[in-house]
Structure 1
Amino acid sequence: MRAPVPARLGAEFTKLWTASAVSNIGDGVAMAAGPLLVASVSDNPALIAGGAFAQQLPWLLFALLSGAYVDRLDRRQLVVVVNLVRAAALAGLSATIATETVTVPVIYTALFLLGTGETLADTAMGALLPSVVASEKLPSANARLYASFTIGNQFVAKPLGAWLFVVSAAVPFGLNAVTFTVAAALIAGIRPVSAPAQPRPRVSLRREIGAGVRWLWQHPLLRTLATTMGLANIAFGAAFAVFVLYCQQRLHLSDIGYGFLLTAFAVGGLFGTIVAATLTRAFGSTTLLRAGLVIEIVTHVTLAITTTPWVAAVILVAFSIHAMVWGITVASIRQRTVPEHLRGRVGSVYALLDLGGAALGSLLGGLFASVWKITTPFWIAAVMMTAVTALAWHRLREATA
C-alpha cells in the first residue's frame, strides 16, 4: 500500500510520521481497553461516560493556554517531554491494574493526565508539521498521517486492545506507555527544514491567547468550520460516550465483538484517506463538507433504530469516510491559512471548540443514557445535527473558493 510510505516528503517527515504511527497504535489499544476497564469496575452509564469526559475535560480547561505555550516554546522538545510524562502516567495505571488496586478515581486521574498532555502534544504536532513539509505537500502529508492513524489507531489497535484486555487488563496500558517512549525518541531526532520563526516581543499570556481567538473569529470560513465541528462533536460525544454499553445492550456483542465493530471506523477511514484528494478535485470542498453533515444525521438515526451489528458497521464505515475527508480538508486549509507564529494558538482555539464539544457531549450522553434509554443520545444527536447543518449550509460555500 502506497499511502503509508512517506519518503518523498522528506526524512524529517518520515520521523514525524513514524512517531505518529507508533503512538497511534498504543493510543488505539488503550482507547479500546479504556471503556472495558471502567465497565469492569462499574456498570453505571454515567461513570463509563465519565471516563471519556475525564480525558476530554483538559481541552476545555487548558486548550487556549496550551496553544499559547506551543507558540512560545520549542515545539519539538515540548512533544518529547509530554510523551515521556504520558508514558509515566500509563505505566502507573498499568501497575494499579496488575496489583488489583485500580479504582474509578485512579482511572479518571490517569485519563485526565493523558488528556492534559494531548492539549500540548497534539497542538504542537499540528503546528510542527508545516515546518518539516512544504506548503504544497501539506494535503499529501495530512492524508498520510490520517492514513497511519486509521490503520494503526483503529484498524489494528482496536481489536488488538479488546483482545489484550481479555488476556490481561494491564497489558494495553503498558503497551501504550512503551509506544509513547518510542515516539518521544523519534521526535527528538527531528530537525525542522524550514526557517525558524523570527523572535517576537513577549507579551502576557492573556494577550497572546486573545490574538489567536480574534484571528480565528475574524476569518469567516475557519470560524464556521470550527463552530460547526464543535457543535457536531457535542452531538457525537453524547451519542458515542456510552458506545460500549450500546454494543453490549442494544447489539448484544461480546468484548471482542465490540473491538471488531470499532474497526468499521478504520475501514471507512482508510478509504477516506485514499479518496479525499480525488473527491475534492471532482466535487469541491463545499459539496464534500455539506455531504458530510448529512451523513452525520443519517448515522445517528440509523444507530438509534438498528439492533443489527452489520447495519451498524455499514453506517460506521460511511461515517468514518466523511470524518477523514472532513479532517484532511480542514487541516490543510488551516495550516495553509494561519501565520506560522499563530499556529499553536489558532489551532488550540479550533481544538477547544472541536474536542471541548466532544467533552461536553460525553458528559451529556452519560446523563441522557442514565435517565432515559441507551438510544436517547443518538436521537438527540440527530436532531442537533439537523439544526447545525441548516445553519452552516450557506457559509460552507466559501470552502471551495
Structure 2
Amino acid sequence: MRALVSARIGADFNRLWTAAAVSNLGDGVTMAAGPLLVASVTDNPALVAGAVFAQQLPWLLFALVSGAYVDRLDRRRLVVAVNLLRAAALIALTIAIATGIVTVVVIYAVFFLLGAGETVADTAVGALLPAIVAPEKLTGANARLSATFTIGNQFAGKPLGAWLFAVSAAAPFGLDAVTFALSAMLVARIRPVPAPEVRPRTRLRSDIADGLRWLWRHRLLRTLAVSMGLANIAFCAAFAVFVLYARQRLGLPDVGYGVLLTTFAVGGLVGTTVAARLAAAFGATAVLRAGLVVEVATHLTLAVTTTPLVAAAVLVVFGIHTMVWGVVVATIRQRVVPAHLLGRVGSVYALLDLGGAALGSLLGGLLAGFWDVTTPFWIAAAAMAAITAFAWRPLRRAAA
C-alpha cells in the first residue's frame, strides 16, 4: 500500500490541488457576490445575513451524516458527483438571475445546497488525501491546499466576484458553476484508489457513533477537537463585533477596516509557506503549544491597543498561526485515524469547530452590547489561557 501511495504522489495530487484551486476561486467569487445579490433583491438586514447562515446551516445539520457516507462510498467519485450537482445548482441560479425571476427563497435554496455539498466534498477530500500522498508528504500537501484556499478564496476570488457582479449580476455565479465543473473533471482523472476496508453495511447511526467514539477515545485528537471548538467560541465571540471594534477602538474608516481584514489573509499565506518547515524544525508539540500562546497574546493585545498598526501586526501573526495549526492538525488526523474512519472522525472535528464558531458569534454581540467592544477580547484572552492550561500536557502526544 505504501509503495502504491508513493507512486501516486505526483500527478494525482497535482490534479486534486488544481481542482481545489479552481473551486476555491469560484467559492471566493460567490462569497463576495452572494451578499450583493441578496441586497439587490431585498434591503432587509436580517434577510441579507440569513443568506450566509443558509450556507453554514448544513454543517450543523449534516456534518456527521456526510462523514458516514464519505466512509461508505468511493470518495473520488463522491467529490465528482457533488461538484457536478453544485455546478447544476449554480447554473439554475444564474438562469434565474438572467431572466429576472430570482427571489430570496431561490437564493437561500441554492446557498443551502452549496453548503450541503460542501460538507460532503470537503470531508471527502480530507479523507482522500492520505490515499494519494505518502505519509511523509502530508504536511506539505496540506499546506499547499491551504495556500490555494488563501490565494483563491481570500485574495483573488472576492474582488473578482464584486467586479463581475458590477458587470452582470449573473456572471459571478455562472463562473462559479464553471469552476465546479472543471474541478469535477480534474478529480475524475485521479486514478481510483483501493477501498480502505471491506465492511459489512451497518446502520447509519452506528457508523456515526463509531466515529464519535474513536475520536473521543483518542486523547490527542480529543484534546485538539475540544480545544479548537472552545477556542472558536472565544475567537468568534470577540470578532463578531470586529467592525465596531475597528471603528470605535481603533478609529478606522470603512476602508481601513477592509484593509485590516486583509491582514488575516496575508498571515495565512505566510503560514502556508512555513507550516511544513516549522513542524519539521520544532516538532508538532512545540508548534501547537506556540499556537495557543499566540491566541492568548492576540486577544490581550487587541483588548489593550488603540493603534491600528499594532492590531494589524498581531493579526498577521494570528493568521500565520491559524494556517500552521490547521495544517499540522489535519496531518496528525490523516496519519493516526484508520482509513475507513477518516470521513467520520473528520466530520466530528468539523462539527465541533463550526459549532463553536456559531455559538461564539451569537455570544459576541451580547457581550459587547452589555459592556464595551473590548469586553469579548478580555473574556477570550482569559478563556484561551484556561484552554492552553488544559491542553498543554496532552499535546505532548503530538510528538509521536
TM-score for the superposition, normalised by structure 2:
0.85
1:141 paired residue number: 141
2:315 paired residue number: 316
Matched, 1:114 2:118: no
- Pair 1:344–1:393, CA change in 2 (3 A): same
Matched, 1:290 2:292: no
Contact 2:8 2:132 in 1 (8 A): no
- Structure 1, 127-136 or 294-303: larger mean CA deviation: 294-303
Q: Secondary structure at the match of 1:196?
A: coil
Q: Secondary structure at the match of 1:9?
A: coil
Q: Secondary structure at the match of 2:279?
A: helix
TM-superposition CA deviations, 1:97-141 (whole Å, max 9, x none): 556666655544333222211111111111111111122221121
Tell me how far apart the structure 1 counterparts of residues 173 and 304 of structure 2 sit (CA, whole Å): 34
- Structure 1, 29-38 or 262-271: larger mean CA deviation: 29-38
Tell me how far apart the structure 2 counterparts of residues 316 and 135 of structure 1 sit (CA, whole Å): 32
Gaps of 5+ in 2: 1-6
1:231 paired residue number: 230
- What is the correspondence of 1:222-371 to structure 2 with a 5 Å cutoff? 222-241=221-240, 251-254=252-255, 260-303=259-302, 310-365=309-364
The Cα of 1:216 is off from its aligned counterpart by: 0.7
Q: Structure 2 counterpart of 1:326, which letter?
A: W
- Pair 1:49–1:232, CA change in 2 (3 A): farther
Tell me how far apart the structure 1 counterparts of residues 242 and 221 of structure 2 sit (CA, whole Å): 30
1:185 paired residue number: 185
- Pair 1:395–1:286, CA change in 2 (3 A): same
TM-superposition CA deviations, 1:263-320 (whole Å, max 9, x none): 3223212211221122223322222212212222333444456666544432322111
- Pair 1:209–1:61, CA change in 2 (3 A): same
The Cα of 1:143 is off from its aligned counterpart by: 1.6
- Structure 1, 89-98 or 61-70: larger mean CA deviation: 89-98
Q: Secondary structure at the match of 1:200?
A: coil
1:3 paired residue number: none
Tell me how far apart the structure 1 counterparts of residues 97 and 362 of structure 2 sit (CA, whole Å): 25
- Pair 1:393–1:198, CA change in 2 (3 A): closer
- Pair 1:154–1:271, CA change in 2 (3 A): same
- Pair 1:388–1:162, CA change in 2 (3 A): farther
Contact 1:159 1:262 in 2 (8 A): no
Contact 2:74 2:195 in 1 (8 A): no
Matched, 1:13 2:13: yes
Tell me how far apart the structure 1 counterparts of residues 208 and 131 of structure 2 sit (CA, whole Å): 22
Tell me how far apart the structure 2 counterparts of residues 379 and 289 of structure 1 sit (CA, whole Å): 22
Gaps of 5+ in 1: 1-6
Contact 2:237 2:365 in 1 (8 A): yes
- Pair 1:166–1:314, CA change in 2 (3 A): farther
Contact 1:246 1:374 in 2 (8 A): yes
The Cα of 1:203 is off from its aligned counterpart by: 1.0
Tell me how far apart the structure 1 counterparts of residues 105 and 38 of structure 2 sit (CA, whole Å): 10
- Pair 1:290–1:61, CA change in 2 (3 A): same
- What is the correspondence of 1:22-37 to structure 2 with a 5 Å cutoff? 22-35=22-35
Q: Structure 1 counterpart of 2:268, which letter?
A: G
The Cα of 1:323 is off from its aligned counterpart by: 0.8
TM-superposition CA deviations, 1:34-69 (whole Å, max 9, x none): 45555664574x666544433222222111111111
- Structure 1, 21-30 or 296-305: larger mean CA deviation: 296-305
Q: Structure 1 counterpart of 2:223, which letter?
A: T
Give the fraction of aligned pairs with identical amino acids, expressed as a percent.
Answer: 71
- Pair 1:371–1:88, CA change in 2 (3 A): farther
- Pair 1:35–1:238, CA change in 2 (3 A): farther
- Pair 1:301–1:237, CA change in 2 (3 A): same
- Structure 1, 351-360 or 258-267: larger mean CA deviation: 258-267
- Pair 1:112–1:311, CA change in 2 (3 A): farther
- What is the correspondence of 1:52-91 to structure 2 with a 5 Å cutoff? 52-91=52-91
- Pair 1:240–1:53, CA change in 2 (3 A): farther
- Pair 1:251–1:114, CA change in 2 (3 A): farther
Q: Secondary structure at the match of 1:297?
A: helix
The Cα of 1:27 is off from its aligned counterpart by: 1.2
- Pair 1:159–1:246, CA change in 2 (3 A): farther
Q: Structure 1 counterpart of 2:353, which letter?
A: D
TM-score for the superposition, normalised by structure 1:
0.85
- Pair 1:353–1:267, CA change in 2 (3 A): same
Q: Structure 2 counterpart of 1:253, which letter?
A: D
- Pair 1:342–1:8, CA change in 2 (3 A): closer
Matched length:
391
- Pair 1:108–1:230, CA change in 2 (3 A): farther
- Structure 1, 155-164 or 346-355: larger mean CA deviation: 155-164
2:389 paired residue number: 390
Tell me how far apart the structure 2 counterparts of residues 107 and 328 of structure 1 sit (CA, whole Å): 33
- Pair 1:184–1:224, CA change in 2 (3 A): same
Asked which structure has the greater CA Rg, the reply is 2
- Structure 1, 183-192 or 232-241: larger mean CA deviation: 232-241
Tell me how far apart the structure 2 counterparts of residues 389 and 169 of structure 1 sit (CA, whole Å): 46
The Cα of 1:20 is off from its aligned counterpart by: 0.4
Tell me how far apart the structure 1 counterparts of residues 53 and 140 of structure 2 sit (CA, whole Å): 32
2:3 paired residue number: none
Q: Secondary structure at the match of 1:391?
A: helix
The Cα of 1:19 is off from its aligned counterpart by: 0.3
Q: Structure 1 counterpart of 2:128, which letter?
A: L
